[in-house]
Structure 1
Amino acid sequence: MQEKLPVPAVTDETGQSLIIEADGPVLVEFWAPWCGPCRIIHPVIAELSTEYDGNLKCFKLNTDESPSTTTKYGIRSIPTIMIFKNGEKKDALIGSVPKTTLISNMKKSLQRRVT
């Protein structure tokens, strides 16, 4: 079994460089420590980070600690998973969705770049 890569945190301070100026597709999980469904989806994001290493960058953003970025993207429910390509928001999923749903939305929103 492949070792899961840790999913690095992104903050208000690092969001511009890690998300907007990123080269290639980026997946961001908006979460909070008190959110039960967020804890359910964390391992799924870690699996995607490992499986798509080199093709997709995965980050998590604590909404309590990064209110500016949370407000910028209109996050009202968590977990919210957003997919960006070349700094542009391509898709958003709200709630603890199955891994298969995340993968199909990633592929659709990234025009098959992720394989």
Structure 2
Amino acid sequence: MVKALTDQTFERATAHGVTLTDFWAEWCGPCRMQSPVIEDLDRDLAGKVAISKVDVDHNAATAAKFDIMSIPTLLIKKDGRVVEKLVGLRTKHQLKAVLAKYTTLEETN
């Protein structure tokens, strides 16, 4: 299950390894479409990539810190440093291809 992060837990949870965080809101249609993709990816990449979500309506400080202006936005960090910021709906294949640049994942999975 994808872990929900808050303003208080975000930095610690994304400080090590490769992480993907979905910035979303309940009222956002594309966010609701992105959610099952993120859940599926989380199952596929368990132990390889830490996947989480941040509700921008309840965690505005974190969203502001990373200049999240549109949602869904997917933030990929490696060892605490932002390496990719993807704005808009993405497929599982697209996300795996991006994550493969920072991990030992096979791009074709």
TM over 0.5: yes
Per the alignment, in what secondary structure is the counterpart of residue 98 of structure 2? Answer: helix
Shift of 1:105: 1.1
Task: Measure the CA separation in 2 of the matches of 1:113 and 1:73.
Answer: 26
Task: Report the TM-score when normalising by structure 2.
Answer: 0.92
| 2:9 matches 1:18 | no
| 2:101 matches 1:94 | no
Per the alignment, in what secondary structure is the counterpart of residue 65 of structure 1? Answer: coil
Per the alignment, in what secondary structure is the counterpart of residue 26 of structure 2? Answer: coil
1:77-114: CA deviations, max 9, x gaps?
A: 00001111000001011111111111111112x1x433
What corresponds to 2:2 in structure 1? 7
Does the 8 Å CA contact 1:26/1:85 hold for their aligned counterparts? yes
1:37-74: CA deviations, max 9, x gaps?
A: 00001011011111010100000000010011000000
Query: Would you identify which runs of 4 or more consecutive aligned residues in structure 1 move more than 6 Å?
Result: none
Per the alignment, in what secondary structure is the counterpart of residue 37 of structure 2? Answer: helix
What corresponds to 2:77 in structure 1? 84
| 2:97 matches 1:104 | yes
Match of 1:32 among 25, 35, 59: 25
Structure 1: 5+ residue runs without aligned partners?
1-5
Structure 2: 5+ residue runs without aligned partners?
none
Task: Report the TM-score when normalising by structure 1.
Answer: 0.88
Residue identity over aligned pairs, in percent, reads 36
